Amino acid sequence: DTGVSQDPRHKITKRGQNVTFRCDPISEHNRLYWYRQTLGQGPEFLTYFQNEAQLEKSRLLSDRFSAERPKGSFSTLEIQRTEQGDSAMYLCASSALQEAPNSPLHFGNGTRLTVT
């Protein structure tokens, strides 16, 4: 079990640039989630996939954010025209559908985004 891996660990970008993050879930997990965490706050739900289908998007997710999971395995989260308010830790998690909603989420170590 290699766990959930996220890449990159850190990203520094200038305001207005686009960034893309990648998440590789635990291989047998059907569900994949994206969260955002800012300092002193709990993780905030952004979106989740069941296999390749995006089932829910939070109202927090503006039009500048898009997530994909094209083959039901890894996922990407893209932020276009980044703003300073996008600076946060972006967390990916996965879980097994068969145990939902009781299955715990397994989290990656996150991608820390800093927009200057």
- Which of these segments, 17-25, 39-47, 65-73, 76-84, binds other proteins (CB under 8 A)? 39-47
Contact call for residues 61 and 46 (beta carbons, < 8 A):
yes
In the complex, minimum distance from the CB of residue 113 to other proteins, in angstroms, rounded to a whole number: 16
- Which of these segments, 12-20, 59-67, 79-87, 102-110, binds other proteins (CB under 8 A)? 102-110
DSSP structure string for 62-97: -TTEEEE-TTSS-EEEEE-S--GGG-EEEEEEEE-G
- Interacting residue ranges for other proteins, rule: CB under 8 A: 33, 40-45, 48, 56, 91, 93, 100-102, 104-110
